[in-house]
Amino acid sequence: METVKYQGVFVKLTEEEIEGATWERVYLKSGVQVFPMTDDGKFYLIEERRPHEKNPIRLKFVTGLMDKEGEDPLDTANRELQEEIGFKADKLEIINHRHATGTINNHFYQVLATGLTKSKIPNPDGEDTIVSIKAYSIDEIYELLDSGKLPWSMGALGIIKIQRMHLKKSKLIKTKN
């Protein structure tokens, strides 16, 4: 039987004895990462204050956690867009869903957001957490990745997937090559 050892706001840690071994599991709140794309094929990134991290200000895509179990990831994506960058999307498309099971457990959705219109709602993390909001071309994003200013992480994989999905069929995202 799984026993809860710690229950926080964002993390739950359990232990379970299976075949004579103790297995630990971490349950994280499910979340989204949103790629807000402008009509001319650029992507909004934010600089955000993260005082609990090694680098207290980081460049990132819009992200957020689902407020309640079973919340629609597209609803979460649109809410996070409005809280963090002051836009909502007319079209949202899940481009990747990772369901992690085992030691780390959660759902993580990557969402492409297009048809952006201004719509700001209060950010529960505080309005002063967002340092800047800027739209970047795909080439600029690759430069940020290469320089280390934007980490090679799930966000980089999302950009690559979007580029592969849309470059050939719509030419929305322009590259130098």
- Both tokens of 138, joined, read 């795909």
Closest CA to 35 of 75, 95, 76: 95
pLDDT for the residue 52: 87
Q: Which amino acid is at 121?
A: I
pLDDT tens string 99-153: 999 999 999 999 999 999 999 999 998 888 999 999 999 999 999 999 999 999 9
Taking only the tens place, the pLDDT of each residue in 35-76 is 999 999 999 999 999 888 888 899 999 999 998 878 999 999
Tokens 């990132």: give the residue. Answer: 60
Going by C-alpha positions, the residue among 30, 40, 145, 122 that lies closest to residue 76 is: 30
Distance CA 94, CA 73 (A): 8
